[in-house]
Amino acid sequence: MHAEGNLKKMKTQMQNGLIQYSLILDNEIKMNDLIGHTIKLSFGGRINCVSCGNITKKAFGQGFCYKCFISSPMNSECIIRPELCQAHIGKGRDAEWEEKNHNQPHVVYLALTKGVKVGVTRADQIPTRWIDQGAWKAIVLAEVPYRQIAGEIEVALKEHMADKTNWRDMLKNIVSPEIDLEEEKEEALELLPEPLQEFFSDNDDVWELNYPVEKYPVKVKSIGFDKMPVVEGKLFGIKGQYLIFEDERVLNVRNHSGYFIQLEA
C-alpha cells in the first residue's frame, strides 16, 4: 500500500467500544488495520501551512507558516486561554471564524489519565477531544453557551487540579483506577464561584475510552521528521495522536501537521 499527502491530526470514531483511527492523505488509511505490521513514513522536506497552504521552511505551532502563526484565528491566544475569548461580543482575529467556532456551546470536562485534568472544548467535539488527549475516562462537568464562560470555569478549577496531560505517562498507560470521576465532579462544584455553578451539568455519564494498543512502551522515545526523515518499524498501537512503534519510539502525528509524507505498508 502506498499513500501520500500532508499530515493532519488523525480522524477518530468509536466503534464497538474501541477507538478507530484514520489517517487522511490522498486517500483514507484505516490505521487500526496496520497495527502489528511494519509501516514506513518518509518526509522529503516539504511543509505546507495548515492555514494558507503555502510552502514554509519551518512549521510554527502545529503546522503554520510564520505569517499565519501570528495572524490565524486558529492560533489566537484564546485557543490556549479560553477565558480571554471575545467571540460572544463579536470580536477576535476573524469574527466570522470566531462566531462559527467559539460563539458556540462548549463544555468543561474532567479527564482521567494518571490524574484528573480539567479542560474545555466545543460541545460537538466530544469525545474527539478526549481521544486526542489520550484520556482513559472522562465526564462532562459544565455546559455553557460560549467559550469565554468555559474558560472562566477552567480558571477557577485549575488552581486545584491540572489543566495539562502528562503525555509520557499517558503513553505508558499509567492510570489511577481508584479515582472516582463522579466524586471529583461533585467536589469541583464546591470550588466554583456561585455565578458559575448554574452551568453545572446533570449529565453524569462516565466515558471509558479504549485504544488500539498491543503493547505500551515502558520508556517513551519521542521522534520527529525534522531529525529523522524516515520512520520505519512495526506499529504496536495508537493512543491520543501518537503512533507507538515496537521499539518504544512514538511519533506525534498532530505535531507534524502540514508535513508532506509518503506512507508505505
Res 159 pLDDT > 90 = no
Same domain for 197 and 219? no
**Which residue range forms the structural domain that includes residue 231?**
2-47+213-264
Has residue 227 been placed in a domain?
A: yes
pLDDT tens, position by position, 172-192: 999 999 999 999 999 999 999
pLDDT band of residue 51 (cuts 50, 70, 90) is very high
| Position 115, amino acid | G
Same domain for 204 and 239? no
Cβ-contact 82, 151 below 8 angstroms? yes
Q: Name the residue with cell 486545584.
A: 160
What pLDDT is stored for residue 257 in this prediction?
97
What pLDDT is stored for residue 42 in this prediction?
98
Res 16 pLDDT > 90 = no
Has residue 23 been placed in a domain?
A: yes
Same domain for 189 and 121? yes
> In the listed set 170, 193, 208, which residue is the last one of a domain according to the structure?
208
Q: Which residue has the higher pLDDT, 253 or 15?
A: 253
Tally of domains within the chain: 2
